[in-house]
Amino acid sequence: MWPQRAGGISGVLRSVILVALGTALLTMSAKVNLPLPYVPMTLQTLVVLVIGAAYGWRLGSVTVMAYLAEGALGLPVFAGPAGGLAPLLGPAGYLFGFVAAAFATGWLSERGWDRSVAWLFLAMGLGHVLILAAGFTWLAFGMKLGVEKAWLVGIAPFLAASLIKNALGAALVPSIRRVLDRRG
């Protein structure tokens, strides 16, 4: 994985810069959204999966956790106008699913799934399944919407977009890596 080449102080500095870049991209992707009744459709899942695939499971997971911490501290990084704990107590399953998705996508990428667009598409698909499952569980049982309504508002509207984001992410990661490897 390209972020892990440098060691020592330069490796730590590079990791800090990548985490800051990742959280900034997640914030921007949250602001590009289509408001829906319970959960807005954003570009966050695409960015989470690209971060996981490009950064690997360790740095990818840390980046997503840093993003959640920024929001919990009150920074307006989430899709809504407010930061703080309120967004983490609403349909937060998706947000917590981001960590699992970055972990899984990064772990699979480190095992060679990023060397093929088809395999990376599948890895990102697994990431989307983890995000949607976490969101569905929170809506159905945490917010007590029930299984049918949670499916209708929390899964069905996102299926086609997830496939498009998987394809876009699987095509982007190799290009991103090539650009960064030339400069690294």
pLDDT tens, position by position, 117-164:
999 999 999 999 999 999 999 999 999 999 999 999 999 999 999 999
Structure tokens at 63: 């980046």
Name the stretches of the chain with pLDDT < 50: 2, 184
Q: Position 121: which residue type?
A: F
Q: CA-to-CA distance for 144 and 123, rounded, in angstroms?
A: 30
Residue 79: predicted pLDDT: 84
Residue 30: predicted pLDDT: 93
Residue 9: predicted pLDDT: 79
Residue 73: predicted pLDDT: 92
End-to-end CA distance of the chain: 12
Structural fold of domain 2-183: Arp2/3 complex 21 kDa subunit ARPC3 (1.10.1760)
Residue 69: predicted pLDDT: 95
Reported in sequence order, the residue ranges of the chain that DSSP labels E, i.e. its strands, are: 33-34, 41-42
Residue 91: predicted pLDDT: 67
Residue 178: predicted pLDDT: 76
Q: CA-to-CA distance for 118 and 171, rounded, in angstroms?
A: 9
Residue 138: predicted pLDDT: 94
106 near 52, Cβ under 8 Å?
yes
74 near 83, Cβ under 8 Å?
yes
Residue 88: predicted pLDDT: 76
Counting DSSP H helices and E strands in the chain, the numbers are 8, 2
